[in-house]
Structures are given as structure tokens and as C-alpha cells.
Structure 1
Amino acid sequence: MATILGHHHISMISKNAKKNDEFYRETLGLRRVKKSVNQDDPSMYHLFFGDLVGSPGTGLTFFEIPMVGRTHRGTNAITLIGLFVPSVDSLVYWKNRFEELNVKHNEISRYAGREALAFEDPEGLRMILLNSDGEEVPNFWTTWDNSNVPIEHQILGMGTIEITVKNAGKLVKTLTEIFGFVVRERNEEQILLQSIEGQGFGEILVKELDGPSEKPGRGSIHHLALRAKDDEELAYWDEQVKQRGFHSSGVVDRFYFKSLYFRESNGILFEIATDGPGFTVDADVKTLGEKLDLPPFLEERRQEIENRLEPLD
């Protein structure tokens, strides 16, 4: 039986790749594991940040759109990204770090049953650090020795992802009936679901909110990708999505993984992505993310693509 193994990556919109790159590498201490381009529009950067090799479940990815405007907040959007850190001491470390580096943040509080520290990146993307406090995380998540953040406080990977919609029932039905998510907690304000019961690395917090839909811009979240083990399971999910009446993109080969895309009833865009082959398929671990990597079908256009991109380093 096919199983959603947790989150795979999450993709956002940035107005300025250079500033984005600086924040996620220098401030958050993540590794840039792939410097590439949007495969559907190679004129824009697509940057991937994560652990040592950008393991599934650690990936924060950004499309650069220089002409994009600001985000108009609203409903029917992915509204918050949870990131696990090892301990409450880590939250204190990050609070002090944010104060020193003038990063907008709140006080340490609680979120989804965990101690937490909310903050924003320079473009207003909303994130929250979560104390994993010994919770099980995938054993292949690997810290990066060259990070400027001490290993004992490094961001581990993705935790709870918050989605705000007009019709929570429809989203919950899609997640539970198609993808096998289980409801961990439910109250009048929110519903907490997990792809694998008891595992926070595949957790989605659904909130219901009426009103205007969000108008995306810089600092908004484009889509959430969920993990599928392999091509066989991806084909299974493609069939399940279609049987439930949703339009599927069909399987798309992204070279580093294979994917499918669909929108659920509130308009939230989901991707289902395979674990492999991964970001080391065309790069050595030691030099990962240093040069511009292109999928084979774009390689013959390398000079043209490089000429249109502003260098990041």
C-alpha cells in the first residue's frame, strides 16, 4: 500500500534571489544544495536550501520573480512553515541570534503542542521554529558541518505546515480519504493531521477562515510537496487524484525527482514528489550548490541562461 512519507519540500516566491540566498545561507545557516532555474521558465532562478544533501523533508525552495509585488494576505493559502530544531535551548539560541541580526520574531510560545519561536524572512515569509524535543525525524536528515550555526542548534527539517482555507472540511477530506492522513487533534479553531500517525515531519495544521483569498507575491508560499517513495507509488497517487475528480498534471520528470501537481477544492496547490534520485545525481556532495546546475534538457541552452541571470556569488 502506498504511503505519504511526510513532507518533501516547500516552494516560495522571492523578488530578489541574491538577498534570499544570503538570508537562508548566512542567517539560517542552511546549505544551498542546488542553484538552478525554473524548468518551466529558465529566465528565473530556482534555489534549494536544506541539510547536507537537501534530503527529502528538509527542502526550502524559492523561485525568483523580480517583478513580483507584495503579498496580500488572505485565506485559501499555505500560511506558515514549521521547522524543527533540536531543543528548547535551540529556541533560545535562535531568539538571541534573531535579535542580533535584526530578524523580525516573536517571543517563545507554543504552537501545535510544541514550544515554538515565530519569525519572518526579509520578504515577510512566515515561519516558526519548533522544539522537536527528541521526536523521531527521518534518520537520513544530516547536519552540515560547514554551517555557521552550531550543529546542536541547526534547523533539522520541516515540521508542521499551516494551511488556511475557506472550507476546512474539503481539505481534510482530501488529505484523509485520498492520502491517508490521520486526524491527531481537532477543535473549533483548527484540525491537526499527520501523514504517519505520531510523526511530526508530515504534519499539516488546517485552519478555516472566510474572506478574500490571498493574492500571492514576494514571501508567499507557492506549493507544498509531499513525499512518495518511488515512481510506482507516484503513479498510484496520480491515479488516485484523477479518480477523485481532480485535474492532475500527470507525472513530470524534474530530473532530481519526479512529480505530479494538483489543486484541491480550495485551490491549494500540492505536489507529490519522489525521494530520488536526489540532488547529488549531477553534483558531488562536497561542491553541492556551488555552480549552476541544469537538467539535461536545458544544458544546450546553458550560455543563454547564464547570460540572463545575475550572479549570486
Structure 2
Amino acid sequence: MYKIPGHHHISMITKNAQLNNQFYQNVLGLRRVKKTVNQDDPSMYHLFYGDLTGSAGTELSFFEIPLAGSTHRGTNAISQIGLLVPSFESLEYWKKRFEQFEVKHGEITTFAGRAALPFEDTEGLRLILLNNNDEDIPEYWTAWEDSAVEQEHCILGMGTVEITVRYLEKTARTLKEMFGYVEVARSEKEAIYQSVAGQAFGEIIVKQQEGPIEKPGRGSIHHLAIRVKNEEELMFWEKEVKKRGFYASGVIDRFYFQSLYFRDSNGILFEIATDGPGFTADTTVEALGTKLDLPPFLEERRTEIEAHLKPLD
């Protein structure tokens, strides 16, 4: 059986791509590695931020929906994103930086067994910085040297992702029995699962919460993508998803990676995505994120698409 080597990316909804672009580049110091459009609706931006090349496991992705309303928080939702920083000193650095930029944030606390600093972006998306404590990270994660943040405190990549559900055991079974995640902590109302032993870059915390289902809007999380190496592994997981009785989208070629989608029994949307070919498939490393990139099947519509998009920079 294949193993899941960690998170691939996570996708959210933004109402305002310009403000989103400013926050994630200038405040969080991430690199905009791809400026493209939603392939299913090319009238909206799809922005990716990450490390030097947008390596799998570092990618934060946003769909711009200008008419997006407020998010009504509830259960059966991906509810918080962990981002790894190098040290406890980094958390102290970020607390001062958030104060400087008037970013809504809490106090340094503990989350999933790590020192942590919760904060929100300009649209109320809930994120939390986690002390990686000099632990290993994937060897291909590469720091972006032109970040607005001091190198010794830069965000490394994705860490623990929080999922809130009505029925903990349903999502637990999907993670453990289908994908091979290991349960490393458990209480009555929450459990922590790891795809790679001891590592936060493949960690998911599942919390049980009753009440109404979340109504998504700006600042909500659309889906979590987990990593596979190649198309062969993706085809394997498609069979496993169907074997469990879930509806699968079928393999979709996103040009920068291939993927498939399914919802678990709590309605959580998962994507399974390949590592490659990556964002340099149509752009040099130096030019990543500087122009509007379109997959080949949309290139002939470039003039029409660009006419509907507001400039970001």
C-alpha cells in the first residue's frame, strides 16, 4: 500500500484578490508562485503562495469570489490552518510583526502539542503559527530569499490542519483505514492523526462539534489536498476511494498537478494531488507569479480572460 507523504496544498475563498495578495506577500512574506485562474470558472483569479517554487506542502491557494458573503462558522468544515515556523523565538517575532501590521491575533499558546500563535487574515480566515522546533521538514522545501520576513523566522510550510466534524469516527476511519494515517493522540472530543510519524507537515487534528453545518464564504476553507508522488499512485487511491463507497471526481489534469476529489462521510472535501510537474511547468523559477499563467486549454481565451480580471500589483 502506498503512503501519504504529507499535505499538498489547501484552498480557500477570498472576496478581494488585491487585499489577499498584499497580505500573504507583504505581511506573511510568502512568495506568490502562481497567478492563474480557476480552471472551472476562468472569470476568477486562483492565486498560490508558498516557498521559492511553491513546493507541495507549502502551498496556500485562494479562489477570488467577489460576491462571497460572510462565513457562518459551524461544524463539518476544515476550520484552521497550521503554518510551521522555525522556533519559539519565531513566534515572538511574529507576535511583534502582527502588532506592527495590526493583524488580529491571540497570545502564544499550545496547539496539537506545540507552542503556537493563532491569528486571522483580513477576511477572518483562521490560521495558527506552530513552532517546528528545528525538526525535519521535507528536503525539497526551499526558502524564498526575497521574502519580506527575516529569513530565520520565515514560514516554512503547512503544519497541522484542523477539521471540525459532527461525527469524529467517520472522518477518523477515512484517515486511518483508507489512507493509513496513525492516531497519535486521543480524547473524548478530538484526535490527532499523522501520515508521517512524528511530523506536523502531514498532521490532521479532528475535533467533534455538534451544531449547524458551516456556511462557507470569504475566509473559509474549501478543501485540503494531500500528496501523492505520481499518476500511478493517484490511480491507486481512486480505486480505494471508490471501494469505500465514496463518489470520486475521476482524475483531473490541472496541468501543474493531477488530482481527484471526494467528500468523506462528514462532507469534508479532500483532494488527492500529485507532486508534479509543478509550477515551473510553464515558467522559470525567477519569473514565478509575475504574470498571468494559463493552462494550455485556456490559452486561446487569454484576451477574454484578462479583460475580466483586475490588476493585482
Post-superposition offset of 1:198: 1.5
In the other structure, the counterpart of 2:206 is: 206
**1:3-56 deviations in Å (ceiling 9; x for gaps):** 111000000000000000000000000000000000000000000000000000
In the other structure, the counterpart of 2:114 is: 114
Find the aligned partners of 2:268 and 2:234 in 1 and give their Cα distance.
Answer: 19
In the other structure, the counterpart of 1:75 is: 75
In the other structure, the counterpart of 1:305 is: 305
Residue 153 of structure 2 corresponds to residue 153 of structure 1: yes
Number of paired residues? 313
Structure 1 segment 74-223 matched on structure 2, within 5 A: 74-223=74-223
Find the aligned partners of 1:17 and 1:300 in 2 and give their Cα distance.
Answer: 24
In the other structure, the counterpart of 1:35 is: 35
Post-superposition offset of 1:188: 1.4
In the other structure, the counterpart of 2:262 is: 262
Q: Normalised by the size of structure 1, how large is the TM-score?
A: 0.99
Structure 2: 5+ residue runs without aligned partners? Answer: none
Secondary structure of the residue aligned to 1:95 is: helix
Q: Which amino acid aligns with 2:295?
A: P
Residue 251 of structure 2 corresponds to residue 251 of structure 1: yes
Post-superposition offset of 1:189: 2.6
Post-superposition offset of 1:266: 0.5
Post-superposition offset of 1:98: 0.1
Find the aligned partners of 2:276 and 2:42 in 1 and give their Cα distance.
Answer: 22
Secondary structure of the residue aligned to 1:106 is: coil
Residue 43 of structure 2 corresponds to residue 47 of structure 1: no
In the other structure, the counterpart of 1:7 is: 7
Q: Which amino acid aligns with 1:258?
A: Q
**1:205-227 deviations in Å (ceiling 9; x for gaps):** 00000110000000000000000
Residue 278 of structure 2 corresponds to residue 275 of structure 1: no
* Bigger mean CA offset, 252-261 vs 186-195: 186-195
Structure 1 segment 276-295 matched on structure 2, within 5 A: 276-295=276-295
Counting aligned pairs with the same residue, the percent is 66
In the other structure, the counterpart of 2:296 is: 296
**1:274-295 deviations in Å (ceiling 9; x for gaps):** 0000000100101100000000
Structure 1: 5+ residue runs without aligned partners? Answer: none
**1:228-268 deviations in Å (ceiling 9; x for gaps):** 01100000000000010000001000000000000000000
In the other structure, the counterpart of 1:58 is: 58
Q: Which amino acid aligns with 1:276?
A: G
Secondary structure of the residue aligned to 2:107 is: strand
Secondary structure of the residue aligned to 1:46 is: strand
Find the aligned partners of 1:99 and 1:241 in 2 and give their Cα distance.
Answer: 45
Secondary structure of the residue aligned to 1:193 is: strand
Find the aligned partners of 1:112 and 1:17 in 2 and give their Cα distance.
Answer: 31
Find the aligned partners of 2:249 and 2:189 in 1 and give their Cα distance.
Answer: 33
Q: Normalised by the size of structure 2, how large is the TM-score?
A: 0.99
Find the aligned partners of 1:153 and 1:71 in 2 and give their Cα distance.
Answer: 31
Q: Which amino acid aligns with 1:78?
A: I
Secondary structure of the residue aligned to 2:224 is: strand
Find the aligned partners of 2:135 and 2:193 in 1 and give their Cα distance.
Answer: 16
Find the aligned partners of 1:207 and 1:135 in 2 and give their Cα distance.
Answer: 25
Q: CA RMSD in A?
A: 0.5
Q: Which amino acid aligns with 1:282?
A: D
Find the aligned partners of 1:251 and 1:118 in 2 and give their Cα distance.
Answer: 35
**1:185-216 deviations in Å (ceiling 9; x for gaps):** 00113100001221211000000001100000
Secondary structure of the residue aligned to 1:18 is: helix
Secondary structure of the residue aligned to 1:286 is: coil
